[in-house]
Structure 1
Amino acid sequence: MTITAAADGSALGNPGPAGWAWYIDEGTWRAGGWPHGTNNMGELKAVLDLLEATAVDADQHLHVLCDSQYVINSVTKWMPGWKRKGWRKKDGKPVLNVELLKDIDRALVGRSVEFEWVKGHAGHAMNEAADKRANAAATAFSKGQDPQVGPGYRGSGAADRQARAGAAPTADATTGAGATPSAPAQEPDDDLFSLFDTAPEQSAPVSCSTAPEETVLTADAPGASVLEQVTTRELALLGDALRADPPSAAELLHPAFTEIGASGRSYDREEILSHLAPLPGVEAVDLVAEEIADGVVLLRYTTVGPDGTAARTSLWQRERGRWLLRHHQGTPLDRP
């Protein structure tokens, strides 16, 4: 028998009042949160609580529906490498949300678990149900109220439900904070460049296993010009390696990043990173870069891919010695 559940997180302001929830059906769900946290903390806590709640049925296969590539990649790809390095990333920096990840690692022992990515805010019934409850919990904390914690899972006591739903994560090695840590400013949620405003091709569910560690953008080649540096970063953001690594991708986005997608919809930084995923088969051609002011580069090019062709414009800004993407816009060229 398989237990299928959706897990989701929410943070108002990111960081800000935060919530998490998992959902199996109307009679089997749970939610909680903290006065201050991040979306990624909520996403991870939802998975952790789901694992703990369903431990009474540890002999059953658990199928987790998740709209966060950050969570899926952390658990199924990067965690083995982080553990070998003492819970540090390839660049030597401490892993974010390490206590939650350690707890998930322990909760996975002896379990058969697979994760499946689903597109968030796209009408998936179970994902929408989890998102609604996570957002409600975050809203409750923003108002100083207790959240609705839900009925929980069979075999889990009410007192345990209430305690765990309201419990904040312990101190994180990256923050040094206490019971309700604030998040680093650059901590990502997990979609970068909405491209054709369509979901990537649905991939097969992925089981927990050892896989290559996260990919980071390499340093600029010696003597690279400003325009070459910016072009290199733009192409990296279009590549599958960086799109599968939200923490590294987030380091190239300006805190005030905005995007206007091919559909005309506007996105902010949190929205564009919330469902980061590879988009195979997309190629950038005819790149033209121009430094239009000191510390500002305009980049224009065309993307060609399975879903069509689009004209693209990106505005890069140098801030404290780093080139960050400030704005991106895409316009379809082959739509009726």
Structure 2
Amino acid sequence: MTIVAAADGSALGNPGPAGWAWYVDETCWRAGGWPHGTNNMGELMAVLDLFKSTAHMPAEPLHILCDSQYVINSVTKWMPGWKRKGWKKSDGKPVLNLELLKEIDAALVGRKYTFEWVKGHAGHHLNEAADDRARDAATAYQAKRSPNAGPGFPGASTPDTSAGAAEETVAATTNTKSPVTPVRQAAAAPVQERLLLDELEQPDLFSMLEDEADPAFAAHGPESLEIVVGLERELLNPEVRADPLRAGELLHPNFAEIGVSGRRWSRQEILDMFADEEPASIDLQVLSLDLLGTDSALLTYRSVSPAGSALRSSLWQLHNGQWRLRHHQGTRES
């Protein structure tokens, strides 16, 4: 029988008091967190603890519902390449959240699993239940009290929480090169949680919109450019354009556009237009993709829709470790 569970994370301030949770039903869920962490740490920890909590049932497939594309892509797409490179990114720097990812990699051995992306904060029952519990755990740490750890998975062994005083510190892998403040593991956490806090000093300006963030990649390397094309396709998706939270995450704070009509649009005007437009399928045909310096990429492509075709150029920039669309321009084809 396939075990279907939602996994989610939350951070109040990102970084800040953080929580994680997985949820099957009211009798089968777990939650935990830390006094200081990030959304991505919570998302990863929820997945890791779900695998550990079901380790006594190795033959049962896991179907994990997750609203974090970062987690899904990390586990299902990028992790093999990171391992081949010694757990390094294309710029030679260590992968973010390394210890959690290594533990997930070990927990996957011999397991059958699938991931399904679900839209966050959209009324999905299991996702909402996991999100509520993750946020409750973060709120508990904010109030300096122990969170409700939940009933756990039936038949699972009792997790070891004796390492509550253990500490682990690492140097930040951000541009600041400054060390990260040590974080103490809380004994109230349901499992021994080893934290790599290499992104705590880089709060995302858009993290208050939605508890999900894309991974930071260096601007050089093929996987980084593939991400740029993927994000451009995502921005053309009618469902994404209708979601002001996700669309806002993709646009740079100083975004501007010169449309096919010659009009200049501000970021807010574009978001307002997205909310009002009729859904339409738009095909993207890549013409070129070039790096401009170390933190920018220029994508040119042809868009084809029921309204016709246009030649377009998009300037993507790394902003706080995230690829965001800085400028866009379109010219209608005759």
Considering the TM-score relative to the shorter chain, is it more than 0.5?
Answer: yes
1:185 and 2:179 aligned: no
Q: Which residue is equivalent to 1:88? A: 88
Q: How does 1:123-272 map to 2 (within 5 A)?
A: 123-158=123-158, 160=159, 170-171=168-169, 174=172, 177=180, 178-179=182-183, 181=197, 183-185=200-202, 189-190=212-213, 215-217=223-225, 237-239=231-233, 260-261=271-272, 262-263=274-275
Q: Which residue is equivalent to 2:114? A: 114
Distance 1:324-1:282 versus aligned 2 partners, 3 A rule: same
Instruction: Summarize deviations over 1:257-292 as a string: whole Å, max 9, x none.
Output: 87635337xxxxxxxxxxxxxx984559xxxxxxxx
Displacement of 1:254 = 5.2
Distance 1:282-1:15 versus aligned 2 partners, 3 A rule: farther
Contact 2:14 2:203 in 1 (8 A): no
1:3 and 2:3 aligned: yes
Distance 1:324-1:26 versus aligned 2 partners, 3 A rule: closer
Q: Which residue is equivalent to 2:99? A: 99
Secondary structure in structure 2 of the residue aligned to 1:122: coil
Displacement of 1:173 = 6.3
Distance 1:324-1:27 versus aligned 2 partners, 3 A rule: closer
Identity within the alignment, %: 58
Distance 1:324-1:134 versus aligned 2 partners, 3 A rule: closer
**Alignment partners' CA distance in 1, 2:128 and 2:307:** 26
Q: TM-score, normalised by structure 1?
A: 0.61
Displacement of 1:136 = 0.4
Secondary structure in structure 2 of the residue aligned to 1:103: helix
Displacement of 1:308 = 12
Displacement of 1:154 = 1.4
**Alignment partners' CA distance in 2, 1:44 and 1:169:** 19
Please tell me the residue identity of whatever aligns with 2:63: H
Distance 1:184-1:55 versus aligned 2 partners, 3 A rule: same
Please tell me the residue identity of whatever aligns with 2:107: A
What CA RMSD, in Å, does the superposition of the two structures yield over aligned residues?
A: 4.7
Contact 2:228 2:316 in 1 (8 A): no
Q: Which residue is equivalent to 1:70? A: 70
Q: Which consecutive aligned stretches of 4+ in structure 1 deviate over 3 angstroms post-superposition?
A: 161-164, 166-182, 186-189, 233-237, 250-261, 279-284, 302-309, 314-320, 323-328
Q: Which residue is equivalent to 1:267? A: none
The number of residue pairs the alignment matches comes to 253
Contact 1:253 1:326 in 2 (8 A): yes
Q: How does 1:276-287 map to 2 (within 5 A)?
A: 281-283=282-284
Please tell me the residue identity of whatever aligns with 1:8: D
Q: TM-score, normalised by structure 2?
A: 0.61
Please tell me the residue identity of whatever aligns with 2:6: A
Displacement of 1:171 = 4.0
Structure 2 unmatched runs, 5+: 174-178, 185-196, 215-220, 238-247, 256-266, 286-301, 329-334
Secondary structure in structure 2 of the residue aligned to 1:263: helix
Distance 1:30-1:170 versus aligned 2 partners, 3 A rule: farther
Secondary structure in structure 2 of the residue aligned to 1:215: helix
**Alignment partners' CA distance in 2, 1:117 and 1:305:** 26
**Alignment partners' CA distance in 2, 1:2 and 1:167:** 36
